[in-house]
Amino acid sequence: MDKSWIDLIELGLKVIALFGAGLWAFAVLRLLRHGDSADGVARNADARIRELELREKLQAALAVDICPAITRSPDGDGYLITAVVELANHGSQNTKINWKDEPPAFHVRLAKFDADGKPKYDPPLRFRVPLTFNPKSGAISQVIRAGTTESIPFAFKVASAGLYLLSFRGVVDGEERAEAERLGLHAPDAWTGNKYVLVGGE
C-alpha cells in the first residue's frame, strides 16, 4: 500500500482516538458534575430534615390522660365518678391553655347502642375547669411547663349504670399558635383526650 495512504489512515485513527477520548472526558466531567449536584441536593435535604426535627423538639407535646374512679352513691341512688385529667408536657416548651370564653373542657356522655351495634350518645354533661381557690368559679387559663404534669379533678354523679365516654378538650392559646406558625411549625388548636368507662359493670 502506498505510504501516503498508510500515513493518512494512521492520522485518521489518531483523530478518531482523540475525538473518542474527548467524548469520554466530557462524559466523565458531566457525571462528576451531576454527582456533585446530587450530593448537594442530598446535603440540603438532610439539613432541612435536621432543621425540622430541631423545630419539632422546640415545641410543646402534651399527653392527655383521664383517670376515672367509680363508687356507689352513699344514698344508693346512682354512681359517683371522680375523674382526674393529667396533662403531661413531654416537649421542650411551655404551653398555655385558655379556659375563659371557651366551651366547657370536660364532657360526659352516656353511650347507647343501636341494632347494628353502633354507639349513640345522650346529650353531654359539661364541666368547666374549676378555679383552685373557688371551685364554683371557672378558671381563666393554665400554663403547663415543659417536663411537668398538671392534674385537673372533676367529680359528678350519674343516675344509671352504663358505658360513658369521658372527653377533654383544652384550647391552645391563640398567641402560641400564631408564634408556631411564624416559625413554620404546627401547633394544634387544642389538646384532647377521650376514655370510655363502664359504670355498674360489676
Contact 45/174 with Cβ under 8 angstroms? no
H and E: helices and strands count for the chain: 2, 12
How far is residue 167 CA from its own chain's centroid? 18
Whole-number Å distance between alpha carbons of 119 and 125: 17
Range of the structural domain that residue 156 is part of: 62-199
CB-CB neighbours of 129 under 10 Å: 24
Say whether pTM exceeds 0.75.
no
Is residue 162 scored above 90 in pLDDT?
yes
Shared-domain flag, residues 95 and 8: no
Together in a domain, 181 and 156: yes
| Boundary residue ending a domain (19, 42, 57) | 57
Looking at residue 20, its pLDDT comes to 64
In terms of domains, do 194 and 97 share one? yes
Same domain, 18 and 96: no
Distance CA 86, CA 142 (A): 13
Around Cβ 55, how many Cβ atoms within 10 Å? Answer: 14
* CA-based torsion, 188, 67, 101, 88: positive or negative: negative
Give the whole-number percent of the chain exceeding pLDDT 90.
Answer: 58
**How far is Cα 197 from Cα 40, in angstroms, rounded to an integer?**
55
- Residue 14: the pLDDT is 59
State the Cα–Cα distance between residues 87 and 192, nearest whole angstrom: 10
User: What is the rounded CA–CA span in Å between residue 163 and residue 110?
Assistant: 6
* pLDDT over 60 (residue 47): no
50 and 71 co-located in one domain: no
The answer on 12 and 66 residing in a single domain is no
Task: Note whether 36 and 82 are same-domain residues.
Answer: no
Over residues 30-48, the mean pLDDT reads 61
Q: What is the mean pLDDT of residues 23-33?
A: 67
Cα 1 to chain centroid distance, Å, stands at 84
CATH number at residue 172: 2.60.40.10
Residues 34 and 75 in one domain: no
* Domain count across the chain: 2
C-alpha cell at 141: 387559663
The mean pLDDT value of the chain amounts to 84
Average pLDDT over residues 46-65: 69
